[in-house]
Amino acid sequence: MKILLILSMLLATVLCVNEGYRKFINQHVKGDMSTTRCNSEILSRSISKTNSNECKETNTFIRATTNTIKSICERAGEPYGDLTKSLQPFSIVVCTLRNQGARHPRCEYRGQDRTRRIAIRCEGGLPVHFDRDIVYFEN
């Protein structure tokens, strides 16, 4: 009976992490993202503030493959508080809301190219939350 309980708890944890990973990919990964596609990508992916139809103030897209981003959780990242920071910079597009207080589907964004290290939350070896981009300076 204990084994069954432990297995069901383990399965629930795995499913929860996988759901967080899928959400992360949907909200933040687009290898060929451009600054002019913020509106269409955010609308087509149904990205909004959590549990509402309010427009998200800012959304960042990482121009990379899922495997490259996943490697931050394994060998290509370092601790950053309770997050993991990438060792290398990434090309990103930061989409910032232009029409404050708007609701879906009327969100209008301005995109900006950046090259930054990124801080993400990893669970079970997978990225589940994008926290911020970090300005870096080369030595």
| CB contact at 8 A, 75 and 125 | no
Residue 104: active-site member = no
17, 129, 131, 132: which one is catalytic? 129
Cis peptide before 127 (omega within 30 of 0): no
CA distances (Å), 78 to each of 24, 67, 71, 74, 101, in order?
Answer: 19, 17, 11, 9, 37
Provide φ and ψ at 24, rounded to 5°. Answer: -60, -50
Cβ neighbors of 102 (< 8 A, separation 6 or more) are 54, 55, 108
Residue 28: active-site member = yes
Cβ neighbors of 43 (< 8 A, separation 6 or more) are 104, 105, 107
28, 30, 70, 116: which one is catalytic? 28
Active site amino acids: 28, 129
